[in-house]
Amino acid sequence: MKIIAATKNKNKLREFGEILKGFEIISQEEAGIDIDVEETGTTFEENSRLKAEAIFKAAGIPAIADDSGLCVDALDGAPGVYSARYGGEGLDDEGRVQLLLKNMENVPDEKRTARFVCVITMVSSGGVITAKGECEGVINHAPKGENGFGYDPVFYMKEYGKTTAEMSPDEKNAVSHRGKALKIFEEKVKGL
Ligand code: IMP
């Protein structure tokens, strides 16, 4: 089954392909679809559906999108759906991590709990399929690790003794929010 991944994020595209091995995942670029879908929703569910629906309408073949982000308890769930835009357009991944650390400088260790959340939506002529995955961790005081992307260098998982940026791609996929959501998604698609 051929599915377009409604993302221009190369890291997400790679993770989709690594986990959804039974499908032919093609990028928007490969499908010749050059549209940027505005994430106007206030939930991960709304935003992932907006993206998948827009790409399905443009391409006519099944489209899969994820909306994901980091929810920090001490910041009332921020940056949440705004994770990619935290601090405004001028910041890169490293800048967003530094801003997060600054906003949490007075938060004690026991209150630094956070989770990555990912909602996957596939829209096709057969309807809509949704799957959600979460991954619990704590926010470190300084970045560590070279792998992954986004907030991975400060997302520490106690049970593995490392940040998700210190994990290999396979290790991260086995425990991550996106890995979990994609596995649930795969089961749902198989059951059709
Ligand atoms: P969006 O889903 O394109 O809105 O972007 C989600 C944002 O959340 C990314 O740009 C990252 O900043 C963050 N994020 C989502 N998943 C991960 C992950 O697996 N590791 C680190 N950061 C992530």
In tens digits, the chain (192 residues) has pLDDT values of 889 998 888 888 888 888 788 889 999 999 999 888 999 999 999 999 999 999 999 999 999 999 999 999 999 999 999 999 999 999 999 999 999 999 999 999 999 999 999 999 999 999 999 999 999 999 999 999 999 999 999 999 999 999 999 999 999 999 999 999 989 998 888 766
Report the number of distinct structural domains present in the chain.
1
How many angstroms separate the alpha carbon of residue 119 from the centre of ligand 1? 11
Amino acid at 110: E
Report strand pairing: 113-124 vs 155-157. Answer: unpaired
Gap between the Cα atoms of 169 and 157, Å rounded: 15
Which residues span the domain enclosing 57?
2-190
Q: Which of 44, 46, 68 to mutate to test the pocket of ligand 1 (most atoms within 8 A of CB)?
A: 68
Residues 186 and 22 sit within 8 Å (Cβ to Cβ): yes
Catalytic residue among 34, 36, 66, 67: 67
Looking at the whole model, is its pTM more than 0.75?
Answer: yes
State the Cα–Cα distance between residues 155 and 151, nearest whole angstrom.
6
CATH code assigned at 126? 3.90.950.10
Angle, in degrees to the nearest 10, between helices 177-190 and 10-19: 50
